[in-house]
Chains A and B, each alone.
Chain A
Amino acid sequence: MNALPRWLRSARVLMGLTIITTIALIALLAPFIAPHDPNEQNLISTFLPPAWVKGGDTAFPFGTDSLGRCVLSRLIYGARIAMTVAIVASLGAMLIGAVLAHIAGYFGGTLDWLIGRTVDVWMSFPPVILSLILMVGLGIGLRNVILAIVLVDWTRFCRVLRSEVLVVTRRDYVAAARLIGFSHWRTITREVLPATLPLLITLVSLEMGIAVIVEAILSFVGMSVGATTPAWGQMIADARQYIYDSPWSLIFPILMIFVTVLGFNVLGDGLRRTLDVRVTETQRT
């Protein structure tokens, strides 16, 4: 027996975890590592290229934007929004989706039909437009961004998990637990949930990547946290107008989103490969 659990020995999981932990640390320690206030304007030195390019200034390692704000500092503070949204929104969506999925899959019948049709109707709205409409209704702000993502994306969890719950519920050990005298609650938490948990964890890590993208889209159209809080999508929107004068301030936020989403996806893929019994069982045989 190895001391490390199987999933921690996977290269994908390790790589994903490294990327995510780094970005999370950057977000946590933003006030200490950012060289400037992210909103501090320096109108004399606008459109500065990164320090290593000719004409760069070492005071602004990644250069400045149209208002002379430090790109690096804005990226660092932007990570805070991205990570908060990624974690809180995906956990929120998971909670609603997983609870409904377990109810639908375990009890079946009318409840299953009702939840299934709700998901169908919900999913027939284009997700980005639905979240935009929600943002218009709710107003901008971090809490509302999270709420909008949760309200749109719980269906993803519900649909995928429901079928898994359905499979597990048909197992004889679930029937055996009922015969032994387990209550429904105990049967779900002790017998069904442990079997669906690997899928749940995998879905959460993939959803985190999706949440980062949705937040970037919302802030790109100015429907996220407001102009005073730096966010990656917003930075892209600002830099878009000066793409020929100063491509750098466009490239950096795009790179950040890319790396973050990649990190979550690699982590999710690694977890799926190591936790999903259907994959690991076939490999063992």
Chain B
Amino acid sequence: MTPAIRMQGITKRFGAVIANDAVDLTVKPGSIHGVIGENGAGKSTLMSVLYGFYGADAGTIEVEGEAVTIASSADAIALGIGMVHQHFMLVQTFTVLENVMLGAEGGPMLAQGMEENRQELERLSQNYGLTVDPDALVGDLPVGVQQRVEIIKALRRGARVLILDEPTGVLTPEETEGLFQILRGLASEGVSILLITHKLNEIMAVTDQVSVMRGGKMVAHRETAVTSGSELAALMVGREVSLTREPAVASQGAPALDAKDMTWRDNNGVVRLQDVSLTLYGGEVLGVAGVSGNGQSELLNVLSGIEPMQEGELTIGNRRIVSADPAGPAEMRKLGLAHVPEDRHHRGLVLPFEARENAVLGYHHGPGTGEGRLISPAALTSHCTRLMNGFDVRPPDPMLRSAGFSGGNQQKLILAREIEAAPKILLIGQPTRGVDIGAIEFINDRIEELKAQGCAILLVSVELEEIFALSDRIAVMNEGRIEGVVRRTEADTATIGRLMAGVTGESAA
């Protein structure tokens, strides 16, 4: 059988970064093919090459057996490749019909094209079960139906291969199930589907084949029927977790932070945290493992006060935080909670600020800005110099704009700021993402030091190696839930991998 798509040896570099390294991918016609991997594994780059956004530096693409060159998305469309983007490309104030006919209006006057498109829309609705009211305003439709309109648009342009990039990120569980039914229907009609995702359960639920990417390489191809969630999880995060470092023995102290039944929904009403309960003790590191995008970011945001509490409660010391009595980031800091955010470029630092200005971000009412009514530049400089010396930030120039530091040194500056505040609780998100090897060891040492001083530390990381190296207990998140909490001494990668895949209990495959 001629494959619908055959990509061979695809290599794509961005400067020094190799986003795709000799990647192969073969999609059978009429099948649902999953491509899974963590953020930054190279999935989106590969799809961008297929859809003509990027030219590959090396490699060949065949569509239905014919070698092709895809230089633009127009080429891709002409070859019958359609794409549904993560963020929809719809005109919100147009009707469904107007959106579908965009680019296929059929002449200067609309009446005839309108009629043709309406018939075409009805045909697609009937053939594929894509029911949608052609005269509804797109802006009024639920997200799941808008996505359906995107799929119809692609099919209207003659797509025989449909790429869906993280299609369920914005959907409710019911909408997700609806989408899967549509995909199965499309596949049975001979449309080949490429499903890009980092969610294991979706792969298991809907795909026929699955390809796993990690670090820009294609690491495995599997038939979904003969693989398991835990095998895929292990493949995604790397089979070998080398345990070069053992966490120092903890002397667990008193509970510092106690979260009960926290549920949190985003603006679209999608549940991002579901009944999360956890207790964090002084003098321990609680690692939060999980494939990225399973609620870890939201957990950090709610615990740090950036996002307001919705359901459930959070207790820090004597302060009980509920939605009716929320605590913002400023109050959280007063309660002794410090936060090293996941995204240092957007949250952790104000990039155009000088290093010394960022050294007091969040603490600008504290002693770092001097004692007087006005900010003292001398105090800023000396405070920043002290942080830079203590955490080996290079170059040790308090006046340098923060954007001018390397990732590792930016991270050291943020850690210095948060640790110097002598917190009782420290939340750390992805402490070593984009950080060079030398700085990683340094950062890990500082975290252990802080733990020895009795600080309660919550460490969120998608690097299992890091979780194992630092944590006393490991909580595993999947789809917004905490699937389990395991002592480091009793944990192994297989257990964690199963929990990450959402497979709990004895029935785990």
A and B assemble together: no
Interface positions of A (Cβ within 8 A of B): none
